[in-house]
Amino acid sequence: MATHEVTNQAPARVDLDEFAANTALFEGVARFEAAWAAPALREVGRHVGSAAFQRDAELANTRTPELRRFDRWGREIDEVVYDDSYHRVIAADLAAGGHTAAATDARPGANVARAATFMLFAQIEPGHSCPVSMTHAVVPVLGQHADVAGEWLPRVLSRDYDPELRAGKSSALFGMAMTEKQGGSDVRANTTRAMRSADGSYRLTGHKWFCSAPMSDAFLVLAQAEASSGGSGSTAGGLSCFLVARILPDGTRNPFRVVRLKDKLGNRANASSEVEFEGTHGILLGEEGRGVATIIDMVHRTRLDSMYGSVAGMRQATAEAAWHARHRAAFGALLVDQPAMTAVLADLQLETEAATVLALRLARAHDADAPSSDAALRRLAVPVAKYWVTKRGPGHAYEAMECLGGNGYTEAWPLARRYREQPVMAIWEGSGNVLALDVLRALGRDPECLAAFEAEVALARGAHPALDAHLGRTLARAGAVAGQDPAEAAAEARGLVGDLALALEASLLVRHAPDAVAELFVASRLGENARGHLYGELPRGDHAAVVARA
């Protein structure tokens, strides 16, 4: 028997174009010279906005990966089995070029278009983005090593998806394995050994504490090469970078023991594992002892993608909160029209707008036609942005979840999953202290970085007195730190990085966003009446105009 009729509930937020609906992303793609990609991005937006894709995203996170150590005959296979929903999600992302489109179509705005594609997919299902990101990030490393580029680059650049571990594939996904249980971020403490073989390859023995996406076709792995001597003299040894394939050229399996899958707080669709090597075949990339220098391009780009992932999460959280508030009434009015809720939604959108324009500006800085000064800018701005945006993500997700009330706290809505997802973006690819110290090192070692940063934010000088004052204080502080020993400034590093991030975000919004957005962002983050630590503590401004963009 029906005891009541369901009313005053928001309909499902499905079957819409997520690209067109995302005003900040839509405008930013055109602003940063990727308008040519709009038709393809609309296709992606409609696909990820569909009920079918959102259902696959849910299934991929509830029917989680399972480790299969042996086949039915007892042979060790070390495979991870995913639900079909996961395969559909990642296949669509690769087909759209979310991994390597910027390399195959390297024109102005190529990295902007690729970043937008990546963020649209990650907005709905973020776990699969891990192997997508690593495959994107390995391209510059492979391109520097002709001995492996011929075999691997065409496969990495392919838009096909083949989840099987087998020889003869036309496509490939890449991962990386750096951290070990005794070292974590201190990779120079790694104990995995690499012994040179007679044919010039290496045999690796050791472990990795975190190896995400273990079903990838190949990995970049850090290991300690053994110093050796021969007729031509001694080799350096030391921490080195190796390409480790899951399947060897003769079709046999490379020793790659998946010990267990990590039981993670979030990121459930993506398998993360512990692995052991025992005589595992590897190919040296670069020189012995130069492992960090070899893999650093990959790390740099995965850091940037971690930031993109947080931006995507902010967009999902803001959109779901605003959708609910536009359809839910309480105390005689829609939630969106009640001033306290309007202020919260406006604040959530401000954070999303700032992160979006920052992400797209840094994407544009990675294009082949970007000016040389952008190379210096990104050396400083990428760790600054990754630090700040990823740390803002969890609190942002929580506030959006609260906008939905009890519904938001249940697994029937996507924001509980998003709340669990956001912290990993800050933890992976350099946690907060690592990034803050990287910023100090960049300031101390490369004066061009700060000069490029100052030139970028100076484009907004004169637009707002509060911003001008913040720029003056922050740049003076950064200049003083640049002349110090990083160890002396370490305790204050986080505060400086936060100020640099706000300077960059505010300068971009003042130059590119509508006045309502820029004015409210500066007043709430930098002005004399800057709010406290919680969302919704906004000064007076056109809150409704900002919410209209959510």
What tens digit of pLDDT does each residue of 1-21 get?
678 889 999 999 999 999 999
The residue with tokens 């947080």 is 310
Distance, CA of 341 to CA of 318 (rounded, Å): 12
Least confident of 92-101, 178-187, 346-355: 178-187
Quick check: 530 pLDDT over 80? Answer: no
The predicted pLDDT at position 149 comes to 97
The two most distant CA atoms of the chain are separated, in Å, by 90
Give the rounded distance of the alpha carbon of 529 from its chain centre.
32
Task: Return the closest-CA partner of residue 272 out of 44, 65, 437.
Answer: 65
Q: What's the whole-number mean pLDDT along residues 461-468?
A: 96
Domains and CATH numbers, the chain: 168-289 (2.40.110.20), 290-550 (1.20.140.10)
Counting beta carbons within 10 angstroms of the beta carbon of residue 250, is it exposed (0 to 12), middle (13 to 18) or buried (19 or more)?
Answer: exposed
Closest to 433 measured CA to CA, from 422, 441, 444, 445: 441
CA separation for the pair 252, 204 (Å, rounded): 17
Q: How many residues does the chain have?
A: 550
3-state secondary structure of 454: helix
pLDDT at residue 235, rounded to an integer: 66
157-166, 184-193, 225-234, 258-267: lowest mean pLDDT where?
225-234
- The structure's pTM equals 0.96
Label residue 523 by pLDDT band (50, 70, 90).
very high
Angular region, 348: left φ>0, alpha ψ -120 to 50, beta rest: alpha
pLDDT at 258: 98
pLDDT of residue 58: 98
Q: What is the pLDDT of residue 537?
A: 86
What pLDDT sits at residue 233? 59
CA angle 7, 9, 10 (to 5 degrees): 140
Per residue in 398-423, pLDDT (tens digit) is: 999 999 999 999 999 999 999 999 99
Which pLDDT belongs to residue 513? 98
pLDDT band at residue 236, thresholds of 50, 70 and 90? confident
Mean pLDDT of the residues in the chain:
95
- pLDDT for 200 equals 93
What type of residue sits at position 76? Answer: E
pLDDT digits (tens, 9 = 90+) for 262-302: 999 999 999 999 999 999 999 999 999 999 999 999 999 99
Confidence at residue 132, expressed as pLDDT on a 0 to 100 scale: 98
- Kindly tell me if the per-residue pLDDT of 196 is higher than 90: yes
Give me the pLDDT at residue 230, please.
60
The pLDDT, as a whole number, for residue 531 is 67
In a 3-state reduction of DSSP, which class is residue 197? coil
Mean pLDDT of 370-385: 97
Q: Which residue in 332, 435, 439, 454 sits closest to 391, CA to CA?
A: 435
436: part of which helix (H) or strand (E)? helix 432-445
pLDDT of residue 232: 59
Task: Give the whole-angstrom CA distance, residue 486 versus residue 508.
Answer: 28
pLDDT greater than 90 at residue 516: yes
Q: What is the mean pLDDT of residues 237-251?
A: 96
Please give the share of the chain, as a percent, with pLDDT higher than 70.
Answer: 98
Q: Report in angstroms the alpha-carbon separations of 12 from 58, 320, 401.
A: 14, 10, 16
Backbone angles phi, psi at 147, to 5 degrees: -70, -20
DSSP per residue over 348-397, as a string? HHHHHHHHHHHHHHHHHHTSTTS-HHHHHHHHHHHHHHHHHHHHHHHHHH
Residue 127 confidence (pLDDT) above 90: yes
